[in-house]
A and B are shown apart, each in its own frame.
Chain A
Amino acid sequence: MAVALILVLIAVGSVAFHLVSPWWWTPIASNWGYIDSTIIITFWITGAVFVAVVLFMAYCVYRFRHQPGRQAHYEPESKRLEMWLTIVTGVGVAAMLAPGLFVWRQFITVPEDATDIEILGQQWQWSFRLPGPDGQLGITDARLVSPDNPLGLSREDPKAQDDIIIEGGEMRLPIGKPVKALLRSVDVIHNFYVPEMRAKMDLVPGQVSYIWFTPTRTGTFEILCAELCGVGHSHMRGTVVVQEQSDYQAWLQDQQARGFARLTSPAAQ
């Protein structure tokens, strides 16, 4: 009796916790509302299965508990029942997988009008690179990294000459414009993660990975490193500031001017 009651409490309590606990995802700030919807579908289906299984167990434990004179029913198998359960499970799995794969296709298909930006991770800080007036990012190589070339830009590549480099861990993005973030690391594996954007991808040395998203809300959002990258891992933070188009353009002009000043300064000669 007590065991059955506790099982019921676990099922009911888990659902209650889900509904009333203050811990839930952060308000979304990107176009990936579909991901949230898929999570909700998955919560409903899995939650129903969990409650059904645990309540059924509680019923069995109560109804078929040992009592003098009780004999268990002898029935090695029931093909019919097993077949139906398999089919129902298959349908439930498909109901989660289909929307999942549908959204994944969108997740990996970058829109034509997305702006390329580069996000570079190194122990334990974030840097960013924006294409200059030519609209293209120049070539890089980890072997070119040095104190005055922390991102390893190729000096030979003309496309790299006008690239805008942003150090100090604060990236800015205009609202409503899709961004393709090219992710690169020069030392170990990092992971670019902004909880509000629902986006996350590893930065792997030796290759370039990518994600895309469209910021849908202005504000300042934290960038976390989500892949263990050494002792400083939990301090590898940055921020994304999403701004209105006009504010963003003003900031971009300013960054371009600074980049030009750096290129023409004696140190760069």
Chain B
Amino acid sequence: MVDVPLGHVGTAPEADSGDIELYHPHSWVTKYVFSQDAKIIAIQYSLTALTVGLIALVLSWLMRLQLGFPGVFSFIDANAYYQFITMHGMMMVVYVLTALFLGGFGNYLIPLMIGARDMVFPYVNMLSFWVYLLAVLILVASFFTPGGPTGAGWTLYPPQAILSGTPGGQDWGIILMLVSLMVFIIGFTMGGLNYVVTVLQARARGMTLMRMPLTVWGIFTASFMALLAFPALFVGAVMMLFDRALGTSFFMPAIVEMGQVLERSGGSPLLFQHLFWFFGHPEVYIVALPAFGIVSDLISTHARRNIFGYRMMVWALLAIGALSFVVWAHHMYVSGMNPYFGFFFATTTLIIAIPTAIKVYNWVLTLWRGDIHLNVPMLFALAFIVTFVNGGLTGLFLGNVVVDVPLSDTMFVVAHFHMVMGVAPILVIFGAIYHWYPKVTGRMLNDALGKLHFWVTFLGAYAIFFPMHYLGLMGVPRRYHEIGDMAFVPASAHTLNAFITIVALIVGVVQLVFVFNLFWSLRSGKPAGGNPWRATTLEWQTPETPPPHGNWGKDMPVVYRWAYDYSVPGAADDFLPQNQPSAQPVQGTAHG
């Protein structure tokens, strides 16, 4: 598996990907604005997503202020509160995490890691970003419309999402949300097709599927899943838009709105939930699988050790991806669907824990007998394992149908999904930015600021979300503008809420250190060289850093080995780049 006979590579037909005539930008605008270069598009995606992330962060502050200090901030009334939680949730899940992992990391890393010059459809790739930006603008515009954005919760359950008892339900809010989602999905489809086809068609000579870095496997699998899952959300959005704007009854049974009987009948609110979660559960893994892949590469590189059980890791990714399409109704155990579905969905949901656990074992077994460099990307990777294991294990409570009954719709759920698909993937995003920033800019991020950012973010996030589970166990419901007086909620729980809010504010503020570091290091960071982490994968072997348009200069890379030849016995260095033919180091290889 590791060694491939050189003769085989030598007789492979000439790669035609290297000879494709690339478009050549002629002006500043076509080079940096309407760029067709995947790397520029990646940066555009990433900066846009990070900006949306900062907006979502501020929204989370506002909702935490209300929860921690109810009644103190009078401008956060129930309307505003529900608008904040809705926009925070939708922004983070779709417009930040999905866009950043696939549009950001996918665009930057896929062509470089598989040894291609660019995505296979560069023009469509460019359109993908601009359509995404349009979706973001439509979403943000809803803050400035009469009635404000929708406050239906990020799950947008009808009928309340389109009725007058909900903020934005009978105003522009819900319409703009649905239109924005539809536009986002159109933009994503352009990008997603690119990622999948590029991985399948444009790999360098010798880069077999089973030699690809797990980062590429994660992004590839997630993109494929997203292409299958997002259409369900798309049709759900179209149907709800028709219900809202044209008076159809897809999701509307005979119903009363504020005492008035409406002219609707025959629709099913549960139908929307099935469509939403058929998208929504794979969506969790669309965010998680790229994080799984990236963190595998961070751990392997910084522990100077091959990822343990590579083949098992690939099969586990694919198994999780496939299983994630048959678990969606575990979000609906108490939705009033046929309760017998509970047996099936609890079983599939708990089965998915097995391939997921295998991944965790292989990460920690990669650390075992490694040579662990505790630099900032590695710290984030370790923190990912802690938070992901924590959040994954609480998923075993919620997936196990009867255990879900008391916990569903409480703060336990909020704590669980933030830990597992908020904190954990975001820690990977940070780790990945610290890891690849030197390739993108040619300079290292500041280490001291990075460590400050890491410790406050990791320990703070854990202090926010770990105790929150116990509020839910006690029975404190989620999505409550104010808990008020509940006999079973002791005063100490309110103290805990205030504590969580204060920590959340601190963790939020420290993100500004990270933003500062991003800009400061651009000019003042330590020059990185071409391969500062002494990594094996192709993106670190480009002739120039940052890689120019076309990535590889004159000669396309040829791949001779898998992505994890670290500390190979007998080799002179503790890493063997994928494009290095023999175990002996080649003298004078140019690493810009």
Identify the A interface with B (CB < 8 A).
3, 6-7, 10, 14, 17, 21-26, 32, 34-35, 38-39, 42, 45-46, 49-50, 53-54, 56-57, 60-61, 64-66, 70-78, 81-82, 85-86, 89-90, 93, 96-97, 100-101, 103-104, 107-108, 122-124, 141-143, 145-147, 152, 183, 186-189, 191, 193, 195-196, 198-207, 209, 220, 222, 224-235
Chain A's closest residue to B151 (CB) is: A231
Q: From residue B108, how far is it (CB to closest CB) to chain A in Å? A: 27
Does any Cβ of A come within 8 Å of B227's Cβ? Answer: no
Among A42, A70, A104, A220, which residue has its beta carbon within 8 angstroms of that of B401? A104
Q: Which residues of A contact B350 (CB under 8 A)?
A: 93, 96-97
Q: Which residues of B contact A14 (CB under 8 A)?
A: 390, 466
Among A66, A77, A230, which residue has its beta carbon within 8 angstroms of that of B160? A230
Q: From residue A40, how far is it (CB to closest CB) to chain B in Å? A: 10
Q: Which residues of A contact B157 (CB under 8 A)?
A: 189, 227-228
Q: Which residues of A contact B566 (CB under 8 A)?
A: 72, 74
Contact B474 A101 (CB under 8 A): no
Known: A38-B402, A104-B346, A206-B269. A187 touches B492 (CB 8 A): no
Q: Which residues of A contact B492 (CB under 8 A)?
A: 22-23
Q: From residue A240, how far is it (CB to closest CB) to chain B in Å? A: 12
Contact B405 A64 (CB under 8 A): no
Contact A57 B364 (CB under 8 A): yes
Nearest 7 A-B pairs (CB), nearest first? Answer: A206-B253, A195-B475, A230-B165, A209-B336, A188-B160, A73-B369, A46-B393
Q: Which residues of A contact B270 (CB under 8 A)?
A: 204, 207
Chain B interface: which size bin?
Answer: 35 or more
Does any Cβ of A come within 8 Å of B568's Cβ? Answer: yes
Does any Cβ of A come within 8 Å of B496's Cβ? Answer: yes
Q: From residue B566, how far is it (CB to closest CB) to chain A in Å? A: 6
Among B169, B367, B462, B484, which residue has its beta carbon within 8 angstroms of that of A61? B367
Contact A231 B82 (CB under 8 A): yes
Q: Which residues of B contact A89 (CB under 8 A)?
A: 353-354, 357-358
Does any Cβ of A come within 8 Å of B163's Cβ? Answer: yes
Find the residue from B306, B340, B373 having the highest chain A CB count within 10 A: B306
Q: From residue A27, how far is it (CB to closest CB) to chain B in Å? A: 9
Contact B402 A104 (CB under 8 A): yes
A25-B474 Cα distance, complex, nearest whole Å:
4
Contact A50 B389 (CB under 8 A): yes
Known: A189-B160, A234-B481. A60 touches B390 (CB 8 A): no
Known: A14-B466, A56-B364. A122 touches B256 (CB 8 A): yes
A104-B404 Cα distance, complex, nearest whole Å:
10
Contact A78 B309 (CB under 8 A): yes
Contact B371 A72 (CB under 8 A): yes
Q: From residue A81, how far is it (CB to closest CB) to chain B in Å? A: 8
Contact B258 A123 (CB under 8 A): yes
A187-B574 Cα distance, complex, nearest whole Å:
66
Q: Which residues of A contact B400 (CB under 8 A)?
A: 38, 42, 96-97, 100
The A-contacting residues of B in range 201-246, CB under 8 angstroms, are none
Q: From residue A251, how far is it (CB to closest CB) to chain B in Å? A: 21
A230-B81 Cα distance, complex, nearest whole Å:
11
Q: From residue A221, how far is it (CB to closest CB) to chain B in Å? A: 8
A191-B407 Cα distance, complex, nearest whole Å:
13
Contact B473 A23 (CB under 8 A): yes
Known: A54-B386, A228-B82. A93 touches B351 (CB 8 A): yes
A222-B400 Cα distance, complex, nearest whole Å:
26
A72-B379 Cα distance, complex, nearest whole Å:
18
Known: A23-B471, A39-B403, A70-B371. A145 touches B256 (CB 8 A): yes
Contact B470 A21 (CB under 8 A): yes
Among A35, A66, A123, which residue has its beta carbon within 8 angstroms of that of B406? A35
Chain A's closest residue to B270 (CB) is: A204
Q: Which residues of A contact B309 (CB under 8 A)?
A: 76-78, 82
A141-B254 Cα distance, complex, nearest whole Å:
8
Contact B385 A229 (CB under 8 A): no
Q: Which residues of A contact B151 (CB under 8 A)?
A: 231
Q: From residue B475, how far is it (CB to closest CB) to chain A in Å? A: 3
Find the residue from A72, A76, A107, A124 having the highest chain B CB count within 10 A: A72
The A-contacting residues of B in range 350-381, CB under 8 angstroms, are 350-351, 353-354, 357-358, 360-362, 364-365, 367-374, 379
Does any Cβ of A come within 8 Å of B447's Cβ? Answer: no
Contact B474 A23 (CB under 8 A): yes
A152-B254 Cα distance, complex, nearest whole Å:
11
Known: A25-B475, A26-B488, A77-B311. A200 touches B409 (CB 8 A): yes
Contact B408 A188 (CB under 8 A): no
Q: From residue B468, how far is it (CB to closest CB) to chain A in Å? A: 10
Q: From residue A142, how far is it (CB to closest CB) to chain B in Å? A: 4
Contact A76 B310 (CB under 8 A): yes
Contact B354 A86 (CB under 8 A): yes
Other 4 A-B pairs with CB < 8 A, given A71-B567, A222-B486, A224-B475: A34-B402, A46-B394, A76-B306, A108-B342
Known: A21-B470, A82-B358. A97 touches B160 (CB 8 A): no
